[in-house]
Structure 1
């Protein structure tokens, strides 16, 4: 029986190393591979992303891969995770430009190419990496502590529209941080802990949404809010894993 299976075992032994060395992430992985061209494209986008510079033969990279995959799934595309194979000849200039001297090197790019990257030097575990990345997302969201602060804040910068999240939690949701980071050049973003919905109730706005969190928009120069009822308002729930 063993001899009958021997050809299959030998074939597996031959093919398995080449399969592993071909890449650290599966084809349908939440982690997307980048080359020099696609890296530039990602950097042109005004958003936070994380890039791991790796080599398939690197044992530390292989240990990081499943943890890195977990982080990608936790962020659920809100903060995309990428990897660059620095062992590929075409990618070596890119890895050199990024100052990669060892593997794996993980960097968070706060706003694409518009801000310097931040290198991760912590534990190579999904929980540690996720917590670190959460704290590195720039957003410029103004925390409004009192109802009177909302009016003052809107009047201070009347040249831009304002968007305020009326939040049922004291924590700012990841989605709101990501949106604020990406569109901070277009509008001002704020967050107000509207406990019990008392502030929203005082506005007497018609509400057809089923979300506890509300998003208000103030047009430039206007102190009259408009309720936003799109998908982002419904998805603004806190998720700090």
Structure 2
């Protein structure tokens, strides 16, 4: 029998325990009763970022971006499409590096957009530059596979 996964609620940030087999069953939060997966990226603040990165047992893909960045705005629809294809196996977050400067500094984000993949609280891969939806999905799946094979 496999250990339950910890999944952070995108609405109330409660940590839920869920079997891997139930990920695709449209699970709901035990605290707020809202869906755990919305098939769209979640905009997070510094505090919420830390909770999702540190407490989630599924991989977390983060788009570090800024509102003034043209390539970031161009990539936003592709990131949305990628979320529809990657969830519930991967949680997608967006971090505005202007409003969460501490997170950008902590992870040494020097160019945007930058995608970073986290697994069990640790950054395992990074990709700077805008990508299309297919590229985001392919890159993420390859990085998850490589990180879990280690």
TM-score of the alignment, normalized to the shorter chain, above 0.5: yes
For structure 2, the 5+ residue unaligned runs are 1-37
**What are the residue-to-residue correspondences of 1:1-241 with 2, within 5 Å?**
30-44=40-54, 45-88=56-99, 91-109=100-118, 111-113=119-121, 115-121=122-128, 124-137=131-144, 138-140=147-149
CA RMSD of aligned residues (A): 2.0
Residue 34 (structure 1) shift: 1.1
Local SS of the residue matching 2:148:
coil
Cα distance between partner residues in 2 of 1:58 and 1:139: 33
Identify which range, 37-46 or 52-61, moves more after superposition. Answer: 37-46
Cα distance between partner residues in 2 of 1:60 and 1:122: 8
Residue 47 (structure 1) shift: 2.2
> Which one scores higher on RCO, CA 8 angstroms, separation ≥ 6?
2
Moved over 3 A (4+): none
For structure 1, the 5+ residue unaligned runs are 1-27, 141-241
| Higher radius of gyration, 1 or 2 | 1
| TM-score, normalised relative to structure 2 | 0.66
Partner of 1:23: none
CA offset digits 1:41-76 (Å, max 9, x no partner): 111222211001110111000111001111000113
Cα distance between partner residues in 1 of 2:103 and 2:63: 12
- Structure with a larger share of its residues in helix: 1
Cα distance between partner residues in 2 of 1:106 and 1:116: 11
| TM-score, normalised relative to structure 1 | 0.42
Cα distance between partner residues in 2 of 1:102 and 1:135: 22
Whether the 8 Å contact between 1:49 and 1:81 is mirrored in structure 2 is: yes
